[in-house]
Structure 1
Amino acid sequence: MVVSARNLRSLRKCQQSNCQNETRELINHFSTAMPIVSRPKWELRLTNHTIRALIRSGRLEDARNMFDKLKQRDIITWNSMIMGYTQRLEVVTAQNLFDQMPERDVVTWNLMISCYMSSRRTEYIEYARYLFDQMPRRDVISWNTMISGYAKIGQIDEALRLFYCMPEKNVVSWNAAISGLLQNGDVKAGIELFKRMPERDAASFSVLVSGLVQNGKLDAAANVLYDFQTSGDTIIDLVYAYNTLIVGYGQKGMIKEARCLFDQIPCYTSKGRSFGRNIVSWNSMIMCYVKAGYIKSARKLFDRMVEKDTVSWNTMISAYVHTSNMKEASKLLTKMPNPDIFSWNLIVSGYAQGGNLGLAYKYFQRIPKKTCVSWNSIIAGCEKNADYEGAIRLFVQMQLERVKPDKHTLSSLLGVCAESIDLHLGMQIHQLVAKSVLPDVPLNNSLITMYAKCGAIVEARSIFDKMKFHKDVISWNAMIGGSGGRRPFPVQIHGLRIWY
């Protein structure tokens, strides 16, 4: 294969324009056709780009195969592979490559330290510190990685000690220290450090506001934004910080404060720079209204949106579904440009839980690509509305389409067996539970209820006893209730077969 600088430009162009299919074709072409011989420097550059592209596309094994076949590698080649394993937190493999490297630069050391710190395991944190102390030369990234790592695991004293020892700090260093203080609940020290910053960026305000919100200091966060907005200082994009505080107010039910903040989000346009309310701002405020039950206010804001995304549509559809206004929910689904699986599942679940199984099944049939959640929605609706035969038929169809059931599917089916007193089918579902999922408390409760209502008290007691200390009030009630002497409700599905 003849490789030229033109190939390198083609690969870069595809990556920059996010042309995934074209990038994948080029990667496949280069990784399979490239001769494994000593390469000139420009050809090694192409190899490095290909390896990095493979890693970015999630094909780490292919990148490693290509790496292992190379007769010529440079430090970028090695660093690329270590970065790939670091992103996957494959610490041992990354360390092995690190140990094999003929030479290392500061990027190599930083990658390995980051890998250790990201694992958050005590022994690896110690290894990270050992490497940090052994580094022949450190840069600001080395220090910031250690500070951030210590802060995230709660060792804020060690993080601050390194912060104050730094020969040179940048805004990221300050942000990491402030974030660490706030994560560990020291609000006063976090605010004081923020005030001492020689310079701030948008991330500084986002870190402070987010930390204050997490600590329940919403008014303090609002004051930070208000003081900066009225100070006339350098223009900084604070939209992310505003959005964070809006969500915080919404979680506390402080809807008036959230709306006031939403209306105050600054808008700025000058010299090629612009920022203001973005789609996240609108979605956050709409979600605040929805959670508080102010559906009309949410809809007014939704209708004012110039640009809506999938989250916007699904938030409003969900609001109508949860208030049983399926007419408006289905209207929005019809208007929605590109409904996703979550949109369809909301409508199916809404109609099914509301007792309109006909419309639920109609929309279920229209879903382009059904997921397990789609099947669960319609099956659970059948169970709730006593359409036991319909639930079992849907389960048979689900198996025919080779969709693997989950705990929710099996729990609904056990409910069907319990209500229809079908012990034989219930035992088949139990075998499927044992082979396909790890039972949790709710699923075990469903099994106990099924066996108890079907009169199989010995089997119910066996499951009850195995739960040991994980029983809840439902577990006890199911056992105490027993079978109740109910007569079976016949459910006959000819040719029923359950695949395990």
Structure 2
Amino acid sequence: MKPFLASLLESSLHSLQKLSSTHSHAIKHGYISDVYVSNRVLDSYIKSGFLGHAHNLFDEMPHRDTVSWNTMISGYTSSGKLDNAWRLFTCMRRYGSDADGFTFSRLLKGVASAKRFELGEQVHALVVKGGYECNNVYVGSALVDMYAKCERVEDALDAFEEIWEPNSVSWNALIGGFVQVRDVETAFGLFGCMEVKMMDDGTFAPLLTLLDDPMLCNLLREVHGKVLKLGLEEEITICNAMVSSYADCGSVSDAKRVFDGLGGSKDLITWNSMLAGFSKLERKDSAFELFVELLRTRIETDVYTYTSILSSCDEHQFFGQSLHCLVIKKGLEQVTSVSNALIFMYIQFPTCFMNDALSLFETLEAKDLVSWNSVLTGLSQKGPSEDAVKFFSYLGSSNIEVDDYAFSAVLRSCSDLATLQLGQQIHALATKSSFESNEFVTSSLILMYSKCGVIENAQRCFQQICSTHSTVAWNAMILGYAQHGSGQVSLDLFSQMCNQNVKLDHVTFTAVLTACSHSGLVQEGLELLHSMEPVYKIQPRTEHYAAAVDLLGRAGLVNKAKELIESMPLSPDPMVLKTFLGACRACGEIEMATQVANHLLEMEPDDHFTYVSLSHMYSDAKKWEEKASVKKVMKERGVKKVPGWSWIEIRNEVCAFNAEDRSHPLCEKIYLMVEDLTQEMKWFDSDNEFNYQASPLDVNHS
């Protein structure tokens, strides 16, 4: 081929106009009949992404060799068009062209990407027939990779053992397969058998993804030491994986040390990994600082950057709203994952932000199941529960398939509403959708039946899954018995959890402490609290102290509750103090209650709970001036009592109402009936003897 034609091909890459011009030049001067020249033009078209033009040239070529076929097959597999590549491969064999190692390697790569195991087996048979399995390391490695990507790790191991001299690609493909199926033991066993000189970033980066649990932190440090020993500490892919692994193992300081060690060679994945680590470990301030630092660099942020930082904004409304503005400025608001992160952020904010989440959902064009579930969760947690039930019905009528997360959320709303009939219908729907045995759906069913007073049904649901060692289900059952005042049964279940090696978590202790509180088991509850860290290796949180304060308060031990709060290693949060305030009110400790209330008013001046509790307490003590003073402060600060709501289930419809509510279309008839019932009660109270002897039929017809 003429040198100037080769030069034209090199310079015309990525430009269709230049490539077409070079192609025309080759035709004009008669070079295109040369198969070598045609192959070069064909390859240039494919490298520039113009597969259609390449195929047109391929069809027009008077002579084709194996390189011609391989070039086209490679182009289609690289573009993810395996079916086109397979048709070409079939034609290649039909026209008598011999497939070689490159043909099989490229086909197997396409099969691996598409996870088309049935085609991979056919290629493997042809490889064996052609004698490429053992003596061609590239084909052998491609076979290992294909089986590994299709999660047929035993077949991958068999293919690996057939290679006479496996190289680093072969080893990495095999290890990667066991990483994909999360077989930690085998993956690291193979790693131990691998020659040190073969180890590279393709070896370590996949292995590090397995080390995502605090229990594996020591193994992670050993791998880190190996990386340092081999001088691979500046390999960006390894460092990025290392940052993620240390964060997943809970060691954010080690993650930050690796991150800082990269200096100016960090890429966006490095920043995103560190951001995600801070977010996972709830180091929100650190995440914000890192995000601002990233914005000062010249690195362009992406979708993953925003989804990571938005997950840290659950308590920072101003920063979250500022990020929302930045998302709009970047034109990312219609990216589903980013909008989902924004929706989830807004539902973590106070209830007044729920409308922002709904507005985002309504304007999002490409809603997915996460979008629906996020709003459903928000309505279940923040909105009226009946709205969550209605929203679930909208989800059911959409084209999106309902999952276990949606069932769990709506069942929790049924729990809050205590709507047994509706809960049973959703239970039937969950069974029909094969989610009844899902641990999260089952736990929600347990809570729903418990709150609806049908503890027997809750127990039946629990029995179906208790053998699976589902911590979530055990916790729900303990809490269910706690709510029914069966504290000893809850303690027995806790003992069974320990004996059966079911993993305990923070929720377990919250549930069992609640059980002790509701059943007056003071000594047992305090022993559990004090044994959490030394015996069970779980550090008590504020919710555990709140449950213990409630336990002591219900038992009338207000001073002991005060001593417990003063001995807390954590600063008492509003939940602990509100619980203590309730205990003080129940025990008539007005002076102590006033001190706690003043502290609460400093922490949450806009929360109505403290004002209302103080007001009621002063009413009970007939301290009218103090009560008037509280009302005055509420008025000055614009704090209003949030009205309580009641609801009733009538023919599968939940009707919610509050005092003097007239929004119901049948409110006139309802109030007339209430007046009649009130008069009946007064009438019967005025004549106890008649009331005692009255027949139910007489009452119904009176």
Q: Does 2:302 match 1:309?
A: yes
Sequence identity, in percent?
A: 18
| Residues 176-325 of structure 1: pairs in structure 2 closer than 5 A | 183-184=188-189, 215-216=218-219, 218=221, 221=224, 238-247=235-244, 250=247, 259=256, 261-265=258-262, 276-290=265-279, 291=281, 292-295=283-286, 296-307=288-299, 308-321=301-314, 324-325=315-316
What is the Cα deviation at residue 266 of structure 1?
A: 5.2
Gaps of 5+ in 2: 1-31, 179-183, 487-645, 656-702
Aligned counterparts, 1:307-386, within 5 A: 307=299, 308-321=301-314, 324-336=315-327, 337-339=330-332, 340-354=335-349, 355=351, 356-386=353-383
How big is the alpha-carbon RMSD for the aligned residues of Structure 1 and Structure 2?
4.9
**Which residues in structure 2 correspond to 1:159-174 (within 5 Å)?**
none
Contact 2:411 2:426 in 1 (8 A): yes
Contact 2:160–2:174 at 8 Å: present in 1 too? Answer: no
Q: Which runs of 5+ in 1 are unaligned?
A: 133-137, 155-178, 230-235, 268-275, 495-500
Task: Work out the CA distance in 1 between the residues paired with 2:223 and 2:406.
Answer: 46
CA deviation vs aligned residue, 1:46-67 (integer Å, no higher than 9, x gap)? 5444444443444434543454
Give the superposition deviation at 1:413.
1.3
Cα distance change, pair 317–125 in 1 and its aligned pair in 2 (3 A): closer
Q: How many residues align?
A: 429
Alignment check: 8 A CA contact 2:357 2:375 kept: yes
Change (3 A) 1:311 1:226: farther
Secondary structure of the residue that 2:435 maps to in structure 1? coil
Offset at 1:474? 0.9
- With normalisation by structure 2, the TM-score equals 0.50
Q: Closer, same or farther in 2 for the Cα pair 1:246/1:379, shift >3 Å?
A: closer
> How far apart, CA to CA, are the structure 1 residues paired with 2:255 and 2:156?
42
Query: Which of 75, 84, 91 is 2:99 aligned to?
Result: 75
| Aligned residues of 2:450 and 2:484 also touching (Cα < 8 A) | yes
Change (3 A) 1:455 1:50: farther
CA, structure 1 residues 328+382, in 2 after alignment: closer, same or farther (shift >3 Å)?
same
Query: What SS does the corresponding residue of 1:332 show, helix, strand or coil?
Result: helix
Q: CA deviation at 1:327?
A: 2.4
Is residue 103 of structure 1 aligned with residue 130 of structure 2? yes
Match of 2:422 in 1: 425
Which of 120, 124, 137 is the aligned partner of 1:94? 120
Post-superposition Cα deviations, 1:188-244, rounded to whole Å, max 9, x if no partner, equal: x99xx75xx5x9977689799999996456499479759969xxxxxx953344444
More RCO (CA 8 Å, sep 6+): 1
Counterpart position of 2:522:
none
Amino acid in the other structure paired with 2:475:
V
Cα distance in structure 2, aligned partners of 1:412 and 1:482: 22
> Aligned partners of 2:148, 2:270: CA distance in 1, in Å?
33
- Report how far residue 415 of structure 1 moved: 1.7
Quote the residue 2:157 is aligned against.
125
CA separation of 1:472/1:320 partners in 2, compared to 1, >3 Å: closer, same or farther? Answer: same
**Whole-Å separation in 2 of the counterparts to 1:34 and 1:483:** 81
Distance 2:65 2:230 in 1: 55
Counterpart AA for 1:94: G
Structure 1 residues 351 and 185 mapped into 2: Cα distance closer, same or farther (>3 Å)? same
Q: Which residue of 454, 460, 463 corresponds with 2:461?
A: 463
Q: Does 1:112 align with 2:143?
A: yes
Label 1:397 to 1:258 Cα distance change in 2 as closer, same or farther (>3 A): closer
Distance of aligned partners of 1:407 and 1:264 in 2 relative to their CA distance in 1, 3 Å threshold: closer
1:16 to 47, 56, 59: 47
What secondary structure does 1:404 align onto?
Answer: coil
